Structure 1
Amino acid sequence: MSERSSTRRSGLEWFSSLPACVLLLAVVVFATGSDLHNRMLQLGDVLWQDYYQLRADPELPRCDPDIDVEAEIARRMQESSGGGLISDLIEPDALDPDTLRQSIEGARQRCADRHATFESLQGRMTPALVAYRQVELAMADVVALGLSSQRYLLALLLIICAATATFKRHHIAMRGMETQLDHKVSFFLQTIANIMLLLSSWFYRQQAHAGGGIVTLDKEILHDVWIVGFLFLSLVSCYRLFRPPAGLPVQGNLGHALLSVPLYTTMCLISGSYFAFLGHSAGIGIYLDKMMELSDMFLNIGLYVWVGMMLKHTRLARLVFDIFRPWRMPPELLAAVAVAVAAIPTAYTGASGIFVIAAGAVIYAELRSAGARRQLALAATAMSGSLGVVLRPCLLVVIIAYLNREVTTDLLFGWGIWVFLLTVSVFLLVSMTLNRQGTFKLAPWRVALPASLAAARSLLPYALIVIGVLLVYSYLLDVSMDEFSAPRILPVMMLGILIFESIRSRHERRLRPEDEEVEALEPRIRKATNETTGEIGALLLLFGLSVSLGGVIERAGVMGLFPESFASPWMAMALMVCVLVMLGMIMDAFGAVILVSTTVATIAYQSGIDPVHFWMVTLVAFELGYLSPPVALNHLLTRQVVGEDEVRAALAEGDTFYQRHERILMPLIVMGISLVLVAFVPLLVYL
């Protein structure tokens, strides 16, 4: 490729992803600015005692500290006896000179204290304090701007990324668009769905004005952003409808074409038709607006995806796998190790689907390079985020504890460790029995251990970067790594790693300019952000319509069909398992948790099921739902990041039915066994 064409392609990539990059950086800057501002307040209080009183210029008290007490007593006594306001309110006999003297002397003393405080503060207004205060107050304005703009940032990010995903044909669907019929059906229905979103947002705006209430400026701007955004999204899908990619075959059938329709489109058509039938055309717009109430959480999802895409363009994952390569593990054992290790970063992302998008491509590539079959690698990739949602500090568990007072994060995370060990054990057992196609033989430890330790030394610079960033946040900003701070710390870590790799490989680029491993910093960030944009658009739009679909389930009274409680906890648990798995198949984790907290959870508690037990079952059931056909969201996300060609090649592998469908059957067996054990074994203990 010529330098001019390469530069042109780079410009086009930035044109599509630069706005999203700016928005994501703004989220990091605003969040870090809040940490910095808190630290500045603490430092100000250390340098200047009572700094909180010095943040504003002191005002001169209006009272008189030198008031003549006796003259004031005489004046008030005269007013009480001669008529006026005081005489109207107080009986003359009620005024006692001694009591009045005590009151006036107390007021004079308080006034004197206020004047003394004023003079003290005035005397402490040094030029250094004034300069520091100006910087701190400016930072406070930045933090306030960040807090007030979170909803706008999320709405803009969703619209920009959704339009990019639409233009790139990157939305999550049951199958890709392979024929012209697939393209036409998919984009025709996408256009209808986007117009539904536009009309619902318009009707929601009209409803807000017709209600007689006061529509704030912030709300008005958000309404306009949604309307303009969905109009733009409708135009993009309509443009793509009439501009199919070149080279698509004409042949196709309607059944396959309907499977190529994005999931968000199907959810939108269902919920939009339901609300329109009820005469509640603003329904989708209302539920999308509710999504804004959790804007910080959904913005964090975007940051996690960005982190994963930057991770994809580093050597870090390969270096981690290098530690295990000297042991010459069978691919089945290596897959179990990869899934177990992936649980740790999953605990910080909060949902398995997010991690599959963020790091699934890296895990798949490393397993394939280690000799794993495509079917096994696809199964492990789909499950790579399924085991960590019960570990500290998973945000999903924090939300469960916030919505349900019957449980605490300590209890949930405590039992979550045992659930994690159980699922890892089941995965290893299934992998080494049903999947094993060779002998189980590791390299001698005398040979493997030194090589493994030598490989681990290459991770030392990365460890120093991670520790350095953590120390900066801990000592300079007083922020430790947890489920709340991870979204803003991890991007800084990944940028630091990318900078380090670019500096280290500068001399290598001169020898191997075509090698992507030694690519410069700008192309890595550009490509990572470009990939992030499409993934965020596909995921956030799916989450938003999932919330709307949850509203349909709630309004339709589906949960009301169940009794308030069951006489048998065993029967209740059996039904709960089925319901929770089905919810996992059609809803994202965060929306499903909110719905379950208000409906199914109460039935479970009243049926004698322990609350902690119920929520452990819920988390495992959701993960089984994400891996279960016909939707199998985690498998769709895996195909999204791995590519259609790899999935198609995997279907041609294997001699037996199980081997040909191992990527689907293995996760179902592992999570199905785990769910049965988690759901019913504890009942034997506490009933």
Structure 2
Amino acid sequence: MSPAMLSVMLVLFALSVPVAIAIGVASLVGLGFTNLPPIVLAQQVYVALDRFPLAAIPFFILAGNLMDVGGLSRRLVELARAFVGGIQGGLAATCVLTCMIFAAISGSSVATTFAVGSVLIPALLRHGYPVGFAAALQAASAELGVIIPPSIPMILFGISTQTSIPELFIAGFGPGLFISSALIVTVLIWCRIKGWGKQDGDGRLGKRVAIKQAAFSLLMPVIILGGIYGGITTPTEASIIAVVYALVVGLFIHREISFKQLFPVFRKSVISSAVIMFIIATASFFSYLLNRVGVPDAAALWLTETFSSQGAFLMAVNMALFVVGMFIETSASIIVLAPILTDAAIKLGIDPVHFGTIMVVNLALGMITPPFGVNLFAAAQVAGCSIDKMIKPLLVFIAVIIGCLLAITYVPAIPLFLRDLLMR
């Protein structure tokens, strides 16, 4: 049964069938090999979606879209530019810094690409940066949207593996700041070598003015993360607060959202959320069928026997996930693979929170690697360029992030220091 399911799924992926449909068809093939009644499909889909933490996903997506339309993201760009835009390459560094801040609100790399990229890519082009560099930088920086909390993939990992979501959120800060710093250093050196960005300081706001304009934008991550880590709200409740806050600020304080604009924003958010939920539903039934025939246990046993040391296991997992991330959507990869790999990791004595950050960072790379990197297509759409123009600069950013991933993998203190300090 399992070979047939996997074969059908991979063939459909190769034919560019949408991820959710490919997994769903493969699951139906697997169901045909069992004596289970069809009603089991409906039952398992209902069980998969009837989880309170999952409600955070559509609300964080909606909050990100409301921030984009309501001008909060633009104010974050001006704030970041006010602080780092005065040096050569400062506008490129602003891109990374803004994505880092916006990631602490949206939880989605695609939302970050559109919200920040729609402001910064045109600005980069006006200041003489090559279009391929600008688009590649935006795509790579937006990866932070799934690493820095609140992170939708981390929510999915926590649900799939019964790992603490607040602990995963705290652990995401170290890797997020580490990767952000590495990207900023890279672009500053690159701009010095190429001679780009000498006029980046032109037209930027003063620091006091920028802080005043972005005050309400900066309060949003404080409210969200402060509520979660202060034990006041759950991640799901915090996501609802984020929507209400973005709505109030956009409608009544900044007054950049009209009531006519709300329907398109809600429609866009519903479509994005429905796609993710469809993937979760089909991937959960796929996992249920694999569990019935013992595939996760067998895979975990094989992994622990084949890779007897933590170092060898983590290297093998990183290599495998890098390839998987190139072809399979992040949410589906986490739901299908996280339970299997996390069981093997725990048996080897690896902290599941540490392993969760490794898995999320690695699969986030899939968002900027061909052929199915969603951030690439989003950034190319915003920049109005073809993906082939992004490849050369993109390879540099991928190399930097891979270097960071290896450090995160083999230096557990990077993700776990803050978690251990606050939670234990």
TM exceeding 0.5: yes
Shift of 1:594: 5.6
Q: AA paired with 2:275?
A: A
Residues 499 and 521 in structure 1, CA contact (< 8 A), matched pair in contact too: yes
Correspondence for 1:36:
none
Correspondence for 1:661:
391
Alignment of 1:518-597 (within 5 A): 521-551=258-288, 554=291, 558-559=295-296, 560-561=298-299, 562-565=302-305, 566-582=307-323, 584=325, 592-593=333-334, 595-596=336-337
Correspondence for 2:421:
none
In the alignment, the residues of structure 1 paired with residue 254 and residue 104 of structure 2 have an alpha-carbon distance, to the nearest angstrom, of 29
Q: Deviations over 1:36-81 (max 9, x none)?
A: xxxxxxxxxxxxxxxxxxxxxxxxxxxxxxxxxxxxxxxxxxxxxx
The 3-state SS of whatever aligns with 1:387 is helix
Correspondence for 1:438:
195
> Cα distance 1:305–1:470, how it changes in 2: closer, same or farther (>3 A)?
closer
Matched residues, number:
388
Shift of 1:288: 1.7
The 3-state SS of whatever aligns with 1:631 is coil
The 3-state SS of whatever aligns with 1:386 is helix
Q: Deviations over 1:107-139 (max 9, x none)?
A: xxxxxxxxxxxxxxxxxxxxxxxxxxxxxxxxx
What percent identity do the matched residue pairs reach?
19
The 3-state SS of whatever aligns with 1:424 is helix
Residues 79 and 207 in structure 2, CA contact (< 8 A), matched pair in contact too: yes
Q: Deviations over 1:524-555 (max 9, x none)?
A: 21221232233233333233333344445545
Correspondence for 2:177:
421
In the alignment, the residues of structure 2 paired with residue 591 and residue 443 of structure 1 have an alpha-carbon distance, to the nearest angstrom, of 40
In the alignment, the residues of structure 1 paired with residue 145 and residue 72 of structure 2 have an alpha-carbon distance, to the nearest angstrom, of 20
Alignment of 1:189-268 (within 5 A): 258-259=15-16, 261-268=17-24
In the alignment, the residues of structure 2 paired with residue 569 and residue 466 of structure 1 have an alpha-carbon distance, to the nearest angstrom, of 39
Residues 288 and 544 in structure 1, CA contact (< 8 A), matched pair in contact too: yes
Q: TM-score w.r.t. structure 1 length? A: 0.47
Residues 396 and 590 in structure 1, CA contact (< 8 A), matched pair in contact too: yes
Residues 54 and 236 in structure 2, CA contact (< 8 A), matched pair in contact too: no
Q: Deviations over 1:336-387 (max 9, x none)?
A: 433344334434555xxxx234343221111122124443343344344433
Shift of 1:289: 2.0
Matched, 1:386 2:143: yes
Correspondence for 1:494:
246
Q: TM-score w.r.t. structure 2 length? A: 0.72
In the alignment, the residues of structure 1 paired with residue 37 and residue 375 of structure 2 have an alpha-carbon distance, to the nearest angstrom, of 32
> Cα distance 1:682–1:317, how it changes in 2: closer, same or farther (>3 A)?
closer
Correspondence for 2:214:
459
Q: AA paired with 2:360?
A: L
In the alignment, the residues of structure 2 paired with residue 287 and residue 633 of structure 1 have an alpha-carbon distance, to the nearest angstrom, of 28
> Cα distance 1:549–1:338, how it changes in 2: closer, same or farther (>3 A)?
farther
Among 460, 470, 483, the residue aligned to 2:235: 483
In the alignment, the residues of structure 2 paired with residue 554 and residue 277 of structure 1 have an alpha-carbon distance, to the nearest angstrom, of 14
Matched, 1:337 2:94: yes
> Which has the greater radius of gyration?
1
Residues 109 and 375 in structure 2, CA contact (< 8 A), matched pair in contact too: yes
The 3-state SS of whatever aligns with 1:623 is helix
Matched, 1:298 2:54: yes
> Cα distance 1:537–1:682, how it changes in 2: closer, same or farther (>3 A)?
closer
In the alignment, the residues of structure 1 paired with residue 120 and residue 266 of structure 2 have an alpha-carbon distance, to the nearest angstrom, of 25
The 3-state SS of whatever aligns with 2:58 is helix
Matched, 1:371 2:124: yes
> Cα distance 1:359–1:551, how it changes in 2: closer, same or farther (>3 A)?
same
Among 275, 278, 288, the residue aligned to 2:31: 275
> Cα distance 1:526–1:333, how it changes in 2: closer, same or farther (>3 A)?
same
The 3-state SS of whatever aligns with 1:630 is coil
Q: Which has the higher contact order (CA 8 A, sep 6+)?
A: 2
Superposed CA RMSD: 4.4
In the alignment, the residues of structure 1 paired with residue 294 and residue 370 of structure 2 have an alpha-carbon distance, to the nearest angstrom, of 25
Q: Deviations over 1:132-175 (max 9, x none)?
A: xxxxxxxxxxxxxxxxxxxxxxxxxxxxxxxxxxxxxxxxxxxx
Q: Deviations over 1:472-510 (max 9, x none)?
A: x99xxx99466242211112112212322576xxxxxxx
In the alignment, the residues of structure 2 paired with residue 293 and residue 346 of structure 1 have an alpha-carbon distance, to the nearest angstrom, of 26
Residues 88 and 198 in structure 2, CA contact (< 8 A), matched pair in contact too: no
In the alignment, the residues of structure 1 paired with residue 113 and residue 64 of structure 2 have an alpha-carbon distance, to the nearest angstrom, of 9
Shift of 1:597: 5.5
Unmatched tracts of structure 2, length 5 or more: 1-11, 414-424
Correspondence for 2:343:
602
Shift of 1:668: 2.7
Residues 90 and 188 in structure 2, CA contact (< 8 A), matched pair in contact too: yes
Among 60, 68, 78, the residue aligned to 1:312: 68
The 3-state SS of whatever aligns with 1:599 is helix
Alignment of 1:135-146 (within 5 A): none
Q: Deviations over 1:404-428 (max 9, x none)?
A: 78x8678656654332232123222
> Cα distance 1:661–1:550, how it changes in 2: closer, same or farther (>3 A)?
farther
> Cα distance 1:670–1:303, how it changes in 2: closer, same or farther (>3 A)?
same
In the alignment, the residues of structure 2 paired with residue 382 and residue 480 of structure 1 have an alpha-carbon distance, to the nearest angstrom, of 34
Correspondence for 2:9:
none
In the alignment, the residues of structure 1 paired with residue 160 and residue 118 of structure 2 have an alpha-carbon distance, to the nearest angstrom, of 39
Residues 100 and 145 in structure 2, CA contact (< 8 A), matched pair in contact too: yes
In the alignment, the residues of structure 2 paired with residue 430 and residue 470 of structure 1 have an alpha-carbon distance, to the nearest angstrom, of 32
Matched, 1:631 2:372: yes
In the alignment, the residues of structure 2 paired with residue 663 and residue 573 of structure 1 have an alpha-carbon distance, to the nearest angstrom, of 28
Unmatched tracts of structure 1, length 5 or more: 1-254, 504-516, 654-659
In the alignment, the residues of structure 1 paired with residue 113 and residue 358 of structure 2 have an alpha-carbon distance, to the nearest angstrom, of 25
> Cα distance 1:458–1:630, how it changes in 2: closer, same or farther (>3 A)?
closer
> Cα distance 1:613–1:314, how it changes in 2: closer, same or farther (>3 A)?
closer
